[in-house]
Amino acid sequence: MTAEDLRLDGELGHSLMLLCCLRVIRPSLAAFRVNSFVRYHEHFEVAQNDPDLERFLALVDGHEASGHFKRCARFDVAAALTTEGIALADLSTEALLHYAIATRDGGWGAGYESDVGRLAWRDGRVRSLPRARSCHVARSNACPGDDACRAR
């Protein structure tokens, strides 16, 4: 989005970021990553008010990784949840892997392409959180929608 006025461009970009955080709009991964949202994950986390997400953040904060990779993990999860339109409890292995591969293929890893999603997944950070609210194949037509799928 551009209005060719730096101040207005900044306001438009910030407004778009907030609309994504509040889930008013759900952008595709390509549309999301073409924008440069400053500290997106911080705004997203506050807007969600999600206890599962808060537990995930505590796990990431307690990890021995550098601050850079902790921010990357937080951003990866926020971006995956935003573009998939799901809560953390619904973030499946398949959805996180899809996000990581699509990010790498699109060249949107901002220099950490080989590490996209790694810290979020490492040591079961995402895997160890409770899940049961939705299908294991997030936002996919591959889901049969049967009771076994929903109970997973």
Q: What is the pLDDT along the chain (152 residues), one digit of tens a residue?
A: 566 788 888 888 899 999 999 999 999 999 998 888 989 999 999 999 899 999 989 988 888 888 888 888 899 899 999 999 999 989 888 888 888 888 888 887 666 655 666 666 654 445 555 444 444 444 443 444 444 333 33
pTM above 0.75, yes or no: no
Q: Contact 91/135 with Cβ under 8 angstroms?
A: no
Both tokens of 103, joined, read 């990010």
